[in-house]
Amino acid sequence: MKKAVVVTLVILSLSLIGLRLASQPLLSALGYQQKAGIRVTSVPSSTVFLNGAEVGQTLYLNEALKAGTYQVQLQAEKGSWQGIVELTEGKVTLINRELEETAASSSGEVLVLNEGQGVVIISNPSGTQVEIDGQLSGKTPLSVYELAAGDHTFLLSHEGFLKRSIRAKLPEEMSLHLNVDLALSELDLGTFKAPTVTSSATLIVKETPLGFLRVRDKPSISGKEMTQVKPGDSLIMLEEQSFWYKVRLADGSEGYVSSSYVEKR
């Protein structure tokens, strides 16, 4: 039985994620498109689906994919997860999940390296406290640009949720993007109300008069615009409300879109 508060230590070697896939620079110079990679781990072991096609079991590694947006699904005997990730040329994206019977008790993270420096951390729930190497750094969403290359430990904590500790190596001249889902503590699972729909539904953005669809921070036209999505983009539906859908975007962030301009798949 889980305790109300527990620290889950996830040790992730980002040397793999930061890897410029062996011969990619040479191929790029010769006019070839660089490949992208994905590495998926889970507890327990699960079946991996990319864009609806079964591709293997965890631990799953593929370094020969085309760059672009992918719908990733993990299916275990008593748990599942689904998300949308953006794979970039010459990089390996890492997905690590701990699957439970309910989404509320599951946890995990998606890690991506981009050109730049420092770390960008988003989480579910938002407003999670972050400690980097034992020092309080702020609350999510959080950007820390002055972070030296090397090994770092990120501890995320939020009232009512299990703490999560992630150890990762940041290479030189790279920026780490970390998207973390925390699990509800056992004491709070009893009061958790499941959403009206499952997270497995996918939404496709339809044509709009403006040529884009706004993603807001709350289900209202008065909500702050977080970003924009384009017709044809895929979104993961998390919850359905009157005239609005709560969705998860490719970068792992969550917001609301008008139900008038999306369709279920």
pLDDT tens, position by position, 81-112? 988 888 988 888 999 999 988 888 899 999 99
Contacts of 198 (CB under 8 A, 6+ apart): none
- Over residues 13-22, the mean pLDDT reads 46
Confidence at 42, pLDDT banded by 50, 70, 90: very high
Can you give the pLDDT at residue 48? Answer: 95
Contact 164, 8 (CB under 8 A): yes
Can you give the pLDDT at residue 120? Answer: 92
**pLDDT > 50? residue 55:** yes
Interstrand relation of 7-11 and 47-50 (parallel, antiparallel or unpaired): unpaired
Can you give the pLDDT at residue 11? Answer: 53
CA distances in angstroms from 193 to 43, 190, 197, 239, listed in the order given: 24, 8, 12, 11
**pLDDT > 50? residue 259:** yes
Q: Give me the residue spans of the domains in the chain.
A: 7-185, 202-264
Q: pLDDT tens digits for 110-133?
A: 999 888 899 999 998 889 999 999
- For the domain spanning 7-185, the CATH number is 2.60.40.1120
Interstrand relation of 36-43 and 92-98 (parallel, antiparallel or unpaired): parallel
User: Is the model more confident about 72 or about 34?
Assistant: 72
Q: In this structure, which topology does domain 202-264 adopt according to CATH?
A: SH3 type barrels. (2.30.30)
Can you give the pLDDT at residue 60? Answer: 96
Q: Do the domains spanning 7-185 and 202-264 agree at the CATH topology level?
A: no
**pLDDT > 80? residue 12:** no
Can you give the pLDDT at residue 220? Answer: 79
**pLDDT > 70? residue 32:** no
> What average pLDDT does the chain have?
82
User: What letters, b where the CB count within 10 A reaches 16 and e where it falls short, cover 242-255?
Assistant: eebbbbbbbebbbb
Q: pLDDT tens digits for 172-221?
A: 888 999 999 999 886 554 554 444 444 457 888 988 878 899 999 888 77
Can you give the pLDDT at residue 176? Answer: 92
Q: pTM, whole model, 2 decimals?
A: 0.68
